[in-house]
Amino acid sequence: MPNSVKTQKKTQKKKSKTSAPKPRSMQGCGIVVDAFEQEGVEVAFGYPGGAIIDVFDKINQSDKFDFVLTRHEQGALHMGEGYARTTGKVGVCVVTSGPGATNTVTGLADAMMDSTPLVVVSGQVPSSLIGNDAFQEADVVGITRSVTKHNYLVQSVEELPQLLKNAFHIARTGRPGPVLIDIPKDIQKATLEDYVYPAEPDLPGYHVQVDADKENIKKAWELIKSSEKPLIYAGGGILNADASDELYELATRCNIPVTTTLMGLGCFPEDHPLALLMLGMHGTVYANMAVQNCDCLIAAGSRFDDRVTGKISEFAPNAKIIHMDIDPSSISKNVEVDVDLVGDAKIILKDILKLAKKCDNSDWVKDVQLWKKENPLRYNGDDDSDLIRPQLVVETINELSDDDAIISTEVGQHQMWAAQYYTFTKPRAWLTSGGLGTMGFGLPAAIGAQKAFPKRQVITIAGDASLQMNIQEIATAAYNNLPVKVVVLNNGWLGMVRQWQDMFYDKNYSTTLTSKPQPGCNISETNPADWRNSEYLPNYEKLAEAYNCWGRRVTKKDDLKDAMIECFQSEGFAILEVWVAREENVFPMVPAGASLSQMLEGMA
């Protein structure tokens, strides 16, 4: 595990000027809350129970941070993620033992895959009962080992302060990720007589390399300088490193087009002429063409995921590859690279910029811009029917949302349309589950972001099926007056799975229909894209009413804009349910395992 030696030294210097804090007598449960305060936690999310009740007994005595009671522990984890990804700080969650802790597994795995910093404190049965099949006992450290960056079962109150300090440090440094601390009930109750929150982590084997090798920096610049067709492939690591400004400087100074992964959207402004938007399975034609034709690919905080590379042996066939990543295990994991730059993307980019001079690349940029002009994202939007195309809904959100709006999504077709048709111009304003692809992520993630930024507009673009996976969190939003706006693209299907069945499984729509025709409605006689006589469950208008929130269902194109304006202007939490064309597919698409050169473009 990496540890930032540089950061440690800086903090030590600062600390030596201030007087050492006096030891205090404190119970384990109080130490947890004190650690949150010392780490500057502003809000924590979670759910109580018997094995963590002592910590909760102290939580409401703190006036330093808020606590949001969620309606499910999975919701708490995604709220923590939404908070962490939009603020750059550690998301904090507290849950009970057994079912409370096992409910966190999906959120932990999600945070692990998407490099999101979380600290999760779980209660455990008393130490003496561990291994006895005690009430609400689960081997949480065993269960979560592979979905956490690190986890601890606390063995004594004496070690608790240091483990809490370590947990926050591990979560936020290097490649960020989730850390779980499982605390038996007796340790929460035990008293430490000489408690002081440690100033430093104690992690001898954990080192983070933040500066890349200087020789490799030179090699990287030489490669960029000598290339004629360079391309930047930027990912979530740029956002983690807060390196958007440096990325912008490199791209514009050296005239290099930029394509962005799903996780990196917003790290480079998509309204810039050098922006090629997303690459990969559902990326733009021109971004994928640029990858296949470039002679130097600069991977910046991106990890060559299979949704990006397609068939690896045919990925970027003509390119020398430079890879900057803070995690050495990412280097040459999927794709063999020519120059590795292990370190923090911001520092690496600054180092490259010290060498970088203006480059021309104008012939290449002209080619790429021609591809961009000739192959725009497009959909069947010009029919005179009153059907609402899902892409139009995203375009309308794009038009009506604030400049600094935060957009979250669930998982499926709507997620891809959001990525394609919303124009991302700012970092840390996009929340999506990329690596794990967790349906149920979008609503709670939006709530976490709204808690962090109460005044900003936060919008969830949801599929009807995904939204139901954590729909109970509407209560959390409504109860806490968090005015998230949810726009549901309701197609009455598990749309993304239906698309695969349509394209690769001979239209065998096995168990993917979530709506049903009304009695007497003959589907075959109606436009298959438009089954407005179907029964859609639930009725989101009525659901919103149940939570005393604004809600409206829209089924006709002409009503869309006004309804969305009303939704966005409404005061609290709101749901706009839009019945979209039912059998729309996401294009472009690279079939799984095919090369990026084999994109299916969809409509003519």
Ligand X SMILES: Cc1cc2nc3c(=O)[nH]c(=O)nc-3n(C[C@H](O)[C@H](O)[C@H](O)COP(=O)(O)OP(=O)(O)OC[C@H]3O[C@@H](n4cnc5c(N)ncnc54)[C@H](O)[C@@H]3O)c2cc1C
Phi/psi-derived region of residue 128, left when phi > 0, alpha when psi is between -120 and 50, beta in every other case: alpha
List the one residue out of 70, 60, 7 whose CA is nearest residue 36.
Answer: 60
Shortest Å, Cβ 516 to ligand TPP:
15
Residue whose token pair is 């291994």: 131
Q: Is there a contact between 310 and 291 (Cβ–Cβ < 8 Å)?
A: no
Q: Residue from 200, 305, 559, 583 that binds ligand X (CB under 6 A)? A: 305
- Choose the contact partner of 182 out of ligand TPP, ligand X, none; CB within 5 to 8 A by kind: none
Phi/psi-derived region of residue 174, left when phi > 0, alpha when psi is between -120 and 50, beta in every other case: left
Q: Where are the beta strands (DSSP E) in 106-201?
A: 118-124, 150-153, 178-184, 191-195
| CB burial of residue 598 (10 Å; 0-12, 13-18, 19+) | middle
Residue whose token pair is 């994991």: 333
Does 495 participate in binding ligand TPP (rule CB under 6 A)? yes
Q: Residue from 77, 138, 153, 278 that binds ligand X (CB under 6 A)? A: 278
- Choose the contact partner of 241 out of ligand X, ligand TPP, none; CB within 5 to 8 A by kind: ligand X
Q: Within its chain, how far is the Cα of 537 from the centroid?
A: 28
Q: Residue from 89, 175, 451, 582 that binds ligand X (CB under 6 A)? A: 175
Does 326 participate in binding ligand X (rule CB under 6 A)? yes
Shortest Å, Cβ 303 to ligand X:
3
Phi, psi of 335 (to 5 degrees): -130, 130
Annotated catalytic residue within 26, 469, 496, 589:
496
Shortest Å, Cβ 75 to ligand X:
19
Q: Residue from 236, 437, 442, 448 that binds ligand TPP (CB under 6 A)? A: 437
* Bridge-based pairing state of the strands 534-535 and 516-517: antiparallel
Does 303 participate in binding ligand X (rule CB under 6 A)? yes
Helical (H) or strand (E) element with 107: helix 105-113
Shortest Å, Cβ 413 to ligand TPP:
4
Helical (H) or strand (E) element with 110: helix 105-113
The span from the CA of 555 to the CA of 393, in Å, is 12
Q: Residue from 89, 282, 428, 498 that binds ligand X (CB under 6 A)? A: 282
Q: Is there a contact between 71 and 79 (Cβ–Cβ < 8 Å)?
A: no
Residues 366-425 contacting ligand TPP, CB under 6 A: 410-414
List the one residue out of 237, 206, 225, 223 whose CA is nearest residue 348.
Answer: 237
- Choose the contact partner of 495 out of ligand X, ligand TPP, none; CB within 5 to 8 A by kind: ligand TPP
Does 266 participate in binding ligand X (rule CB under 6 A)? no
Residues 449-478 contacting ligand TPP, CB under 6 A: 463-466, 469
- Structure tokens, 589: 């698409």
Q: Where are the beta strands (DSSP E) in 185-229?
A: 191-195
Residue 237 vs 437, nearer CB to ligand TPP: 437
Shortest Å, Cβ 172 to ligand X:
10
Say whether 65 is catalytic: no
Does 488 participate in binding ligand X (rule CB under 6 A)? no
Residues 121-180 contacting ligand TPP, CB under 6 A: none
Say whether 472 is catalytic: no
Interface residues toward ligand X, by CB under 6 A:
114-115, 175, 235-237, 240-241, 261-264, 278-283, 301-303, 305, 307-308, 324-327, 330, 344-345, 411, 415-416, 434-435, 437, 496
Residues in touch with ligand TPP (CB under 6 A): 410-414, 437-440, 463-466, 469, 489, 491, 493-497
